[in-house]
Amino acid sequence: MAISLEEVYKIAHLCRLEFTEEEAKVLTEELSKILDYFKKLQTLNTENVKPTFHALKIKTPFREDKVKEFPYIEDILKNAPQLCERMIVVPKVVKAP
């Protein structure tokens, strides 16, 4: 499954990445190979394979959440360019539709 150079540039834009034309061409080839591999994986018979969310059977350790005071918070907040109620204000990066 080939991916076009334009699609690579669109993905790069969405990820806020910049590539030279040569880098974009290399990425186009690499992403096409990855998509081809996924296409090959889709042909596997997984009918008798049980769904899983982890490759290893590890028991999840549950613990109660505890609120802790971070000892260096004032030092971190001193470096912030803008604060609002002890929270760091950052530029909006998601545009509303």
* pLDDT tens profile 59-76: 778 888 888 888 898 899
Residue 82 half-sphere exposure, CB side, CA atoms within 13 Å? 3
* pLDDT tens profile 71-90: 898 899 999 999 999 899 99
Q: In Å, how far from its chain's centre is CA 87?
A: 24
Q: Report the CATH fold assignment for 5-41.
A: Histone, subunit A (1.10.20)
Nearest residue to 3 via CA among 26, 23, 29? 29
List % helix, strand, coil for the chain (3-state, nearest 5): 40, 5, 60
Which residues 6+ apart lie within 8 Å of 32 measured at CB?
Answer: 1, 2, 3
Whether pTM > 0.85 for this model: the answer is no
